Amino acid sequence: MLFAAERLMTSCHLSIDLVIGDVAITQGKSYWACCVDPSSYLVKVGVGLESKLQEWFQVPQDVVSPRYDPDSGHDSGAEDTTVEAPPPYAFLTIGMGKILLSHGSALTSRDPNGCTVPLPPRIGICLDYEQGKVSFYDAVSFRELWECGVDCSGPVCPAFCFIGGGALHLQELVANKQDRKVTIGGFPKLD
């Protein structure tokens, strides 16, 4: 099921619920953590451009997919010269007590195929707006799980997608970089 998670987003007949954070990030580094219920069917945790997240979920999923851009049907070669831009959102896929890691990630895991790792008690998400990068962590050991680029050309929001039911507890926004560093509850907070 986890391996089909990306395809589920293109032709899913299960209920899909999206929760978009009410605070948009427009600068600096931000860190927050959440606990995903291990019995959740399928949950996606991440960030995305506010405009693209709202646009994506206003169109039926069997018409448009954020992961699938169909070929134009002509062989002009124009597609080959396009510079690849970072995606407008980045999600970590969680289900059945495991995390599906993206192919090509340079991560160490107990899984010899490197495809899944056990779900930690808390997941940390760190967005570096200026660098256009989001990192996902085991928020207990602070071990990095996955890192990828994300489009930060506009306001970026935390986002959580529930497919077929699930639950999570948002710890809170625990870091937002300004000038000085303070520690709150074991998490670094940059003010």
Cα–Cα distance measured from residue 23 to residue 183, given in angstroms and rounded to the nearest whole number: 21
**Does pLDDT of 14 surpass 70?**
no
Nearest to 145 by CA among 168, 171, 166, 126: 126
Q: How confident is the model at residue 159 (pLDDT cuts 50, 70, 90)?
A: very high
Q: What does the DSSP 8-state code read for residue 80?
A: G
Structural domains in the chain, CATH included, are 16-59+86-102+116-170 (2.60.120.920)
Q: What is the pLDDT of residue 80?
A: 53
Q: Is the pTM of this model over 0.75?
A: no
**Does pLDDT of 168 surpass 80?**
yes
DSSP helix, strand, coil percent of the chain (3-state; round to 5): 10, 40, 50
Q: Quick check: 157 and 19 in contact, CB under 8 A?
A: no
pLDDT digits (tens, 9 = 90+) for 106-136: 444 444 455 889 999 999 999 999 999 999 9
Both tokens assigned to 143: 């071990």
Q: What is the pLDDT of residue 24?
A: 93
Q: What is the pLDDT of residue 145?
A: 95
